[in-house]
Amino acid sequence: MDDQQWLERQFGCRLHQESLLAQALSHRSVGSRNNERLEFLGDSVLGYIVSEELYRRFPDADEGQLSRLRVSLVKGSALAEVARELSLGEQLRLGSGERHGGGRRRDSILADSFEAVLGAITLDSGIEACRQAIFKVFRSRLDGLRLEQARKDPKTRLQELLQGSGRPLPDYVLRNAAGEDHARIFTVACELADGKVIAEGVGDSRRAAEQAAAAAVLDQLGES
């Protein structure tokens, strides 16, 4: 499937400037004409459009709740998941090192390239065309959002719980990091200062593993 056919099928639009789409799908490993600048633009456009839509959909939400809902949609791992659903990795132009090193599956490359495509749509056809493309891709995720999902993340909740009772903050200790570079799995332990509560969490990044460990501690404390 060529680039324009793929774009029309997945985003519901075509670009007048085919070279712009080719650039959006070109990782920096292929040379100087790559998608980094388009990714910068697409990141900003996506953040604005999602923020505006959340503001409209959740009139009773406060700033913190809106921010957490937005993060749940546009964080790197979420965008990589969207990119996989769109088969974006199959369209990417990668240097030989990235091709052989699993670049088509790497979260950071997929997320950045997705944003670059949005940047290309904006430059070529305007922000309203990009808005429609985003809604086509994100509609089911937007429709599935509920305000109760905007709870603070486990690390923040655990920190606030401990501070509220005058207790020291927990320690997060990396126990293990296994797997190839593009598919690392981290194991982190969260330990309270008194040593009585210790739990481990696993994730595809150290931060994700820390969040999982904090959630497990909250569960032990009856605060899940």
- Domain assignment of residue 24, given as a range: 3-150
> Please, what is the end-to-end C-alpha distance for the chain in angstroms?
46
What are 88-133's pLDDT values in tens digits? 999 999 999 898 888 899 999 999 999 999 999 999 999 999 999 9
Same structural domain, 112 and 38: yes
Domain count, the chain: 2
Same structural domain, 159 and 145: no
Q: Please state whether 190 falls in left (phi above 0), alpha (psi between -120 and 50) or beta.
A: beta
Q: Is 43 a catalytic residue?
A: yes
Helix (H/G/I), strand (E/B), else coil: 176:
strand
- The CATH number of residue 66's host domain is 1.10.1520.10
Last residue of a domain, one of 120, 135, 150: 150
Tell me which residue of 43, 2, 38 sits closest to 116, measured CA to CA.
38
Same structural domain, 144 and 197: no
From the list 43, 53, 98, 210, the catalytic residue is 43
Same structural domain, 96 and 115: yes
Same structural domain, 22 and 60: yes
- The CATH number of residue 195's host domain is 3.30.160.20
| % residues pLDDT > 70 (the chain) | 99
Helix (H/G/I), strand (E/B), else coil: 105:
helix
Same structural domain, 46 and 93: yes
What are 4-61's pLDDT values in tens digits? 999 999 999 999 999 999 999 999 999 999 999 999 999 999 999 999 999 999 999 9
Kindly indicate the confidence band of residue 196, based on its pLDDT and cuts at 50, 70 and 90: confident
pTM: 0.75
From the list 53, 98, 115, 124, the catalytic residue is 115
Residue 190: phi, psi to the nearest 5? -110, 120
DSSP 188-201: EEEE-TTSS-EEEE
Same structural domain, 138 and 28: yes
Specify the pLDDT at position 103: 87
Same structural domain, 36 and 112: yes
Last residue of a domain, one of 150, 182, 208: 150
Does 204 carry a binding-site annotation? no
Contact 125, 15 (CB under 8 A): yes
Distance between CA atoms of 100 and 210, rounded to whole angstroms? Answer: 30
Does 223 carry a binding-site annotation? no
Q: Is 115 a catalytic residue?
A: yes
Same structural domain, 126 and 184: no
Last residue of a domain, one of 97, 123, 150: 150
Does 112 carry a binding-site annotation? yes
For residue 114, which amino acid is it? F
Q: What is the mean pLDDT of the chain?
A: 92
Same structural domain, 170 and 140: no
Cα angle vertex 115, ends 64, 208, to 5°? 50
Strands of the sheet with 198-203, listed across from one edge: 171-178, 185-191, 198-203
Distance between CA atoms of 54 and 138, rounded to whole angstroms? Answer: 12
Considering all CA atoms of the chain, what is the largest pairwise distance in Å, rounded to the nearest integer? 63
Same structural domain, 140 and 29: yes
Same structural domain, 210 and 101: no
Kindly indicate the confidence band of residue 197, based on its pLDDT and cuts at 50, 70 and 90: confident
